[in-house]
Structure 1
Amino acid sequence: MLIPLGLAGVFFLGLAGWSAYVGRKAEEMVPAEGQFAEVEGACLHYVDINPEAQGPAIVMIHGLMGQLRNFSHSLAARIAADHRVILVDRPGWGHSSLSGPRPGIAAQARMIAALIERLELDKPLLVGHSLGGAVSLSLGLDRPELVLGLALIAPLTQAIDTVPPVFKGLLAPAALRPVLAWTLVVPMGLRNGPATAAAIFAPDPVPGDFALAGGGALAVRPKSYLAGSFEVRAAPGEMAALVARYGEMRVPVAILYGRGDAVLDPGVNGEKTAAEIPGATIELIEGGHMLPVTKPAETEAWLRRVLAG
């Protein structure tokens, strides 16, 4: 009995060591490239592009299983030609770390608000992609005086009972998350990574350089699984609370969706939400969920129309 248990222990320790090794390698391949700011509960990694630019600054917040290179891959440099652009790794993602309890949507919004105040930004436009859109909505409701408006790209905006199929692997009970994160998640992520990326990008192709230039390699880490599993479990309750307050929104909200989005339903999270938020607008274009990467010209043009008011 002791021998099988010992062998199992060695096996799982080996998986944990391999997972740690892969995580370190991913961070070496996609290193931190910006600055760090301490806020309550987290140390946020951010990249500040063209800080001397005039006009409204733009703060970009990525989605689930992402990081700030989701924006710098194709989009940020375009809009940074004449705007200050700040890309942020959300708390617990990318190279941002936590110093307190794992934060939900509302807590992350408070941390981003603290970063805006720390950088002394004067009413930036908040750009949120996917779950970053939910964080943006929470910030807009709670701290409207801080932002010029919200520009939401393929955002999560509704309480969804059914998790998108591509993220169902994140639905582990809290007690099992650490065990899975440090044993099975990394080898399975390496094996299934191409298929997962294809499902998230569909119907658009996955760029060949996305793992590095787009930060995709950082998704295959125990840290990312733990953050993603927590957020998927917590999101429905937090989103229900946000939706109930949409009538209170006092900042302009613009939504951009790809008609072919295979992750979030444009009708539910786009058109329905635009009808619920006073004065909100929605624009639909051809494309999938990863518009900042796959449709940068169209996304830039839309952002410039939003900025022009």
Structure 2
Amino acid sequence: MVWIAALFLALAFAVQWRAAARETAANKGYPPQGRIVDVDGTSVHVLIAGTGPDLVLIHGASGNVRDWTIDFADRVSDRYRVIMFDRPGLGWTGRLKGKTGAWNVKSESPMEQAALLQKAAAIVGIDHPIVVGHSFGGAVAMAWALSQPKETAAVVMLAAVSNPWPGNLGWTYTWGGTSFGGAFLMPAISAFVPDSYINTSVESIFAPQNAPKGYAEQVGAGLILRRESLRANAQQVNSLRPHIVKMSKRYRGLQTPLEIVHGDADTIVPLSVHSEPLSSQVEGAVLTVLKGVGHMPHHAAPGAVEDAIDRAAARAGLR
């Protein structure tokens, strides 16, 4: 029994050492691109570009602000002040108090994430923004509008989570969101997941389109593979549905201009489950369906996303 315990400890040490080494390399290779602001003890990474009406961009699961900087931010920074946030635990934004630790299973709800980013927005002087949310970021965008309806100029949802879905999210999120998964599974993934798996995962997110060449490197895939980021992402996604159930009951009272852009080939966040119902839940919502487009419309059909943002700005009286 002693040798078994010694072997287990040696293996655990090797996993943690390897994970720490990869994290160090990721942190060095992908430093913050913007400014770090302190919000009640939580560090929030914000990147700002351009001038004009304020346009907040909120990334999805397993993401960070670099997803916007590959191409899309440049497309709109000529007419908007583009403000990009890393969500809690991802990129260079820290986690909220009480949410950290290998054995912890508490995660930041969309409402908590929106509140954090709203406080950061106030610090950098954001006023009456259009809020854009992609995928999981859409849940945060809706939470932003629900909690600050008068201060939110408009919301633009991109292949975004908005309504309860049937079934589960697969074993990675189910196990990753548990204390056991956080303590053991996430470090093992952080330490040993190969580049080939990362590239395959990226391609599956973009399907049926191809990912931009070098996307995994440009977006800093190593940042999401850090242990705390993996835990944050798994816990947030795994615990999301009950929050969506509560939020969705409040949509019909929302008066904020809403533009929705969604591809009909999106199998990750299906159009029929999320955006189609949302378009009838919010009065005046405009749904744009992109034929043959998957889960990354701001890469696959950026012009359509720009048009939706410009419409939202016009409806809000900002253009």
**TM value normalised by structure 2:** 0.90
Q: Counterpart of 1:80 in structure 2: which amino acid? A: S
Q: Counterpart of 2:32 in structure 1: which amino acid? A: A
C-alpha change, 1:266 and 1:74, in structure 2 (3 Å) is same
Report how far residue 192 of structure 1 moved: 1.9
The runs of 5 or more residues in structure 1 that have no matched partner are none
1:175 corresponds, among 172, 175, 179, to 179
Is the CA contact (8 Å cut-off) linking 1:73 and 1:293 kept in structure 2?
no
Q: Is 2:50 aligned against 1:12? A: no
Task: Encode CA deviations 1:251-280: one digit per residue, 9 max, x unaligned.
Answer: 111110011112111111111111111221
Q: Which residue of 2 aligns with 1:157?
A: 162
Q: Counterpart of 2:142 in structure 1: which amino acid? A: L
In 1, the alpha carbon distance for the partners of 2:166 and 2:226 equals 26
C-alpha change, 1:131 and 1:195, in structure 2 (3 Å) is same
Over the residues paired in the alignment, what is the CA RMSD in angstroms? 1.7
Answer with 286-295 or 262-271: which moved more.
286-295
Q: Is 2:303 aligned against 1:306? A: no
C-alpha change, 1:259 and 1:99, in structure 2 (3 Å) is closer
Q: Counterpart of 1:98 in structure 2: which amino acid? A: R
In 1, the alpha carbon distance for the partners of 2:205 and 2:169 equals 10
Q: Is 2:87 aligned against 1:84? A: no
Q: Which residue of 1 aligns with 2:40?
A: 40
5 Å matches for 1:101-140?
101-102=98-99, 103-140=108-145
C-alpha change, 1:222 and 1:262, in structure 2 (3 Å) is same
C-alpha change, 1:74 and 1:137, in structure 2 (3 Å) is same
Is the CA contact (8 Å cut-off) linking 1:124 and 1:149 kept in structure 2?
yes
| Aligned residue pair count | 304
Q: Counterpart of 1:242 in structure 2: which amino acid? A: M
Is the CA contact (8 Å cut-off) linking 1:199 and 1:262 kept in structure 2?
no
Q: Which residue of 1 aligns with 2:252?
A: 247
Percent same amino acid among aligned pairs?
A: 23
User: The residue matched to 1:37 in structure 2 has which SS?
Assistant: strand
C-alpha change, 1:189 and 1:246, in structure 2 (3 Å) is farther
Report how far residue 288 of structure 1 moved: 0.9
Q: Is 2:289 aligned against 1:292? A: no
In 2, the alpha carbon distance for the partners of 1:85 and 1:38 equals 20
Task: Encode CA deviations 1:100-155: one digit per residue, 9 max, x unaligned.
Answer: 02321110011111122222222010011101100110110111122101011111
Q: Counterpart of 1:307 in structure 2: which amino acid? A: A
Task: Encode CA deviations 1:203-260: one digit per residue, 9 max, x unaligned.
Answer: 1101222123223332222122101111122101100000111112121111100111
User: The residue matched to 2:244 in structure 1 has which SS?
Assistant: helix
5 Å matches for 1:257-268?
257-268=262-273
User: The residue matched to 1:263 in structure 2 has which SS?
Assistant: coil
Task: Encode CA deviations 1:68-125: one digit per residue, 9 max, x unaligned.
Answer: 1111111011100121101100111101112502321110011111122222222010
User: The residue matched to 1:283 in structure 2 has which SS?
Assistant: strand
User: The residue matched to 1:171 in structure 2 has which SS?
Assistant: helix
The runs of 5 or more residues in structure 2 that have no matched partner are 100-107
Is the CA contact (8 Å cut-off) linking 2:252 and 2:281 kept in structure 1?
yes
Is the CA contact (8 Å cut-off) linking 1:150 and 1:252 kept in structure 2?
yes
In 1, the alpha carbon distance for the partners of 2:194 and 2:237 equals 17
User: The residue matched to 1:268 in structure 2 has which SS?
Assistant: coil
Q: Counterpart of 2:81 in structure 1: which amino acid? A: R
Q: Which residue of 2 aligns with 1:28?
A: 28
In 1, the alpha carbon distance for the partners of 2:48 and 2:189 equals 36
Task: Encode CA deviations 1:17-42: one digit per residue, 9 max, x unaligned.
Answer: 10111122122222211001111352
Answer with 112-121 or 251-260: which moved more.
112-121
In 1, the alpha carbon distance for the partners of 2:158 and 2:194 equals 26
In 2, the alpha carbon distance for the partners of 1:29 and 1:293 equals 24
In 1, the alpha carbon distance for the partners of 2:196 and 2:217 equals 17
In 2, the alpha carbon distance for the partners of 1:245 and 1:61 equals 21
Report how far residue 9 of structure 1 moved: 1.1
Q: Counterpart of 2:71 in structure 1: which amino acid? A: S
User: The residue matched to 1:180 in structure 2 has which SS?
Assistant: helix
